[in-house]
Structure 1
Amino acid sequence: MAVIALYSVKGGVGKTTLAANLAWCAATTSCRRTLLWDLDPAGGAGFLLDAEPPGSGAAAARVFADGDAERLIRRTPFDRLDLLPADESLHDLDPLFASLGKRKRLAKLAAALMQRYDRIILDCPPVLGELAGQVLRAADLVVLPLPPSPLSMRAQVTVEAAIRQRTKSGVRLLPVLSMLDRRRALHRDLAAAQPDWPVIPLASVVEQGAVEQRPVGAMSPQSPAAIALGQLWTRIERELAA
């Protein structure tokens, strides 16, 4: 049983795409009972899995106050994969956490959900407030997507500092080079400098997956992007077993 957070302090790095596709890998490739918990008010993870909640609600944040996550969980079109959807109420999480005064509220809710799931994957917004602290204290592994650019690489330093400051024992961090285009010299150089990091290529099939609201592995299982996502999931499973 494990909690895996897709987290970065920088937006536009492919975090939500990775979260949805890795959740599918967990449920389909590893046959794990999987919950994709969308903590980003934009709600992109549910959209990518064609499992958006009907209408506009304001209940997602109340989960942290009343502890009743089960009532909001919905099934996705994919076996063994459920979604805890996001809504606009998540914009106000930091004040809610401050009023609750519970630094491990998310961790305790995740532990309760582990009675039902083998893997919980958190799609996190690019923030550095109390929600980030809650995520880092709950996660067994943080997956950090880093598109090959100097600004993205700075995000790694920031996330590593946040882990040191907000957790007592630290949490394992797995940087991932996302949206890698080997036609570009900078991308090739950064990949060569970090040969142990998993790589997700820049690929039109990933964009098409968003159009069709299907995981890449379900839509085009032999594509380089689907193979890379599967390899990333295998690496995550190895990291969790270590």
Structure 2
Amino acid sequence: MQEPDADRPSSGGATIAIYSVKGGVGKTTFAANLAWYSAQGGHRTLLWDLDAAGGSGFLYGLEAKGSGLAEEVFSRDRSPAKLIQRTAWEGIDILPADESIRALDAQLMRIGKRKRLARLTEELSANYGRIVLDCPPVMNELSAQVVRAADLVIVPLPPSPLSARAFDLVVREISGNTRRHPPILPVLSMLDLRRALHRQARDANPNWPSVPYASAVEQCAVHQQPIGVHSPQSPAAQQFARLWRAIEAKLAERAG
């Protein structure tokens, strides 16, 4: 892949974090697909993978350029621009994760820079209209830094009677890390209306956006393509597009 053009014009930007305290809720799939819809909306977009599993890069067919480099962006002031890779789609770049991200929380505690991530995203916003953070499912210094950096937090939640409880846990975590936390948008993920518990969760939270459980979503990993590329007319693709419009509306509301 070619290096991104660091001197392309900037539109100013916003940072959107995809965050959950629980794994397996579709967080990486959300991040990868929302980045694509962001680019389709005309924003030059950076998808920054902060999860050591490296799923976001995989979904775009990319791997980190070397081991141990992703964490050095935080601990040794390595320029993130040197690690950014272009995807096959116009307007989307990726800063992939590697195994070194597993040690990031300890490094952040050691260096004592509480707004390191916020400063990095601010610098990157000179070249990107939107930055999408694929966050690990943790509650630690890294999640606290994500909250300080984000303009909006998207929280995918499995559809169950415990969804509201899980969301409250996320809200408490976010609220505890900043005096003025960013807006938080909960989203029911992997919704299957054939299941009674899923219908109950949807009915209990009718204003929450949702993304259905669907083969088209699973095929993103098979094709290593966003759903808007391989299944653009699918109901799941339409829901992701609708979710992105809701995100833009939230950002506009905050800016106003």
Pick aligned residue for 2:83 from 72, 87, 93: 72
What is the CA distance between 1:150 and its match in structure 2?
A: 3.7
Deviation at 1:3, TM superposition (A): 0.3
Normalised by the size of structure 2, how large is the TM-score?
Answer: 0.91
Aligned length: 240
Aligned counterparts of 1:188 and 1:195: Cα–Cα separation in 2? 10
1:174 maps onto 2:188 in alignment: no
Counterpart in the other structure of 1:20: 32
> How far did 1:154 drift?
3.0
Question: Cα distance, 1:152 vs. partner?
Answer: 4.3
Structure 2 letter corresponding to 1:58: G
Q: How does 1:213-224 map to 2 (within 5 A)?
A: 213-224=224-235
**2:74 pairs with 1:57:** no
1:164 positional shift: 1.4
Compute the displacement of 1:52 (Å): 2.0
Any conservation in 2 of the 1:32–1:118 contact (CA below 8 Å)? Answer: yes
Residue pair 1:58, 1:87 contacting (<8 A) in 2 also:
yes
Amino acid at match of 2:168: V
- The unaligned stretches of length 5 or more in structure 2 are 1-12
Question: Are 1:101 and 2:101 an aligned pair?
Answer: no
The corresponding residue for 2:95 is 84
Q: Distance in 2 between matches of 1:79 and 1:33?
A: 8
State the Cα distance separating 1:166 from its structure 2 match. 0.3
Conserved 8 A contact 1:67-1:109: no
Q: Contact 1:10–1:152 at 8 Å: present in 2 too?
A: no
Q: Distance in 2 between matches of 1:75 and 1:154?
A: 38
Query: Matches of residues 1-242 of structure 1 in structure 2 within 5 Å?
Result: 1-28=13-40, 30-53=41-64, 57-65=67-75, 66-242=77-253
Q: Is the CA contact (8 Å cut-off) linking 1:141 and 1:171 kept in structure 2?
A: yes
Question: How much does 1:155 deviate?
Answer: 2.2
Instruction: Please report how far the alpha carbon of residue 87 of structure 1 lies from its aligned counterpart in structure 2 after TM superposition.
Output: 0.2
1:67 Cα deviation after fit = 4.5
- Deviation for aligned residue 1:209: 1.5
Find the residue that maps to 2:176 and give its secondary structure. helix
For 1:126, what is the secondary structure of its paired residue?
Answer: coil
Shift of 1:179: 0.3
**In the aligned structure 2, how far is the partner of 1:10 from the partner of 1:67?**
30
What is the root-mean-square deviation in Å for CA atoms of aligned residues? 1.1
Alignment partners' CA distance in 2, 1:130 and 1:163: 11
